[in-house]
A = this chain, B = another copy of it.
Amino acid sequence: MRFEAVTIKDIARELGLSTSTVSRALRDSYEISSDTKKIVLECADRLHYTPNPIALSLKEKRSRSIGVIVCEIANSYFSQIINGIESIAYNKGYNVIISQSHESFEREVKDLNYLASRSIDGLIISVSSETENMEHLKKLHDRGLPIVFFDRVSEEMKTHLVIVDNFKGAYEATAHLIQNGYKKIACLANSSHLSIAKERIGGYKQALIDNGFSIDETIIKYNNHGGIERHEIEKNMEELISLGERPDAVLGLSDKLTTGALRFLQHKGINVPNEMGLIGFSNSDLTELLNPSLSIIRQPALQMGKTAMELLLQLIESKRPTTQFAKKVLHTELIVRNSTKRTGSLNHVKSITAAVNIGCLQLAHLLSAEILKAVFL
């Protein structure tokens, strides 16, 4: 705004002092008599003086604002991360400027240049699905812009990283599917070059191997746009269910992919968890309420945001160039619900039909009553 902002000059004029005296009094400098300080403070208060952060920025060559680039804020995982970032930034008097790449490399580069031109003091970023080349980030980083990566990181650049144990998260989820009797587990992945995809697929494969399963690359489906366009997921799922021997479970490697898979299966009338088990990475509040309730791998998003911001502050406020870089690895949580629990209902239905066909109505009834109770009571 700066509509009719009161400046240090106004106070000086009002009090017949020089601007420097006022400035020093306001900053509680030792060279100013307590008498003068008192009058100045009183006057500043009376006039509703607030320092102009822009003038300060110009002088200090820092803007006290940081940039955040994520693919999408309308995504629980990222909005929770941003909450974490903001909670720390707010306390330290930093501004957070949020940009969305919408999974587009071009947009990411634009956003970055925009933020850079806005004189941000630092950057927190999870790269877009399309980002393979890190030159745009490297260039700014080399010129001294502090950067912290989270989620989708690049080890190419020497800086702090905040991630979760993606390998373990995917491993546990896959092992869980196997324990529940699923035999052919497909994987709905993001771009193959993303760090998270690599690590998660690693965990998925290892779990298969450790349980004596073979790895079938044809049932690992990559979504190069992260499923931001719905038909990408649909196409991949369609291919999976069209296979001769259809997979009986799916592991989704991101929020969008997991719920996208469920959407597809529901539309197709494919029963989850009986015809197809489903588990995936997700941070949505609603997974518990879905049909069926989704088994998920949850990430500590709020904490990730906080950690990233704290690391960035270290970089920004350190006097000498940082040489030791942290790689914070937080833990995922496996939450088991109904989307991975075969109820056998489908087999029941088949049994009932069979019973009716051979005239055993009493058996048919018994089977029916059991399932009806389970479902409706």
Contacts and interface: CB of A to CB of B under 8 A. Distances in A.
A323 interface: no
Interface in A228-287: 259, 262-263, 266, 269, 271, 284-286
A289 B262 contact: yes
A83 B54 contact: no
Across the A-B interface, the 4 shortest Cβ-Cβ residue pairs:
A291-B291, A3-B144, A368-B368, A74-B79
Interface string A357-375: 0000110110011011101
Contacts of A356: 365, 369
A178 to B, nearest CB: 25
A286 B271 contact: no
Nearest to A293: B291
B95 A96 contact: no
Contact of A284 (B99, B286, B372): B286
A61 interface: yes
A80 B73 CA distance: 8
A143 B5 CA distance: 9
14 contacts: A1-B121, A1-B144, A3-B143, A55-B58, A73-B73, A73-B82, A74-B76, A74-B79, A259-B289, A266-B289, A286-B286, A289-B290, A291-B291, A349-B376
A127 B352 CA distance: 57
A97 interface: yes
Interface in A141-160: 143-145
Contacts of A120: 1
A4 B143 contact: yes
Nearest to A117: B50
Interface-centre pick from A54, A55, A79, A140 (highest chain B CB count, 10 A): A54
A54 B119 contact: yes
Contacts of A62: 2
A181 interface: no
Given A118-B53, A121-B1, A372-B371, A259 B271 contact: no
Contacts of A284: 286
A233 to B, nearest CB: 13
A202 interface: no
Contacts of A365: 356, 361, 364-365, 368
B345 A368 contact: no
A190 B317 CA distance: 43
A4 B263 contact: no
A273 to B, nearest CB: 12
A17 interface: no
Interface string A289-318: 111110000000000000000000000000
B58 A54 contact: yes
A223 to B, nearest CB: 16
B86 A79 contact: no
Nearest to A111: B90
A278 to B, nearest CB: 11
Given A285-B259, A286-B286, A346-B376, A2 B119 contact: yes
A369 B119 CA distance: 68
Contacts of A55: 58
B57 A54 contact: yes
B263 A288 contact: yes
A117 B75 CA distance: 30
Which of A51, A63, A145 neighbours the largest number of chain B CB atoms within 10 Å of its CB? Answer: A63
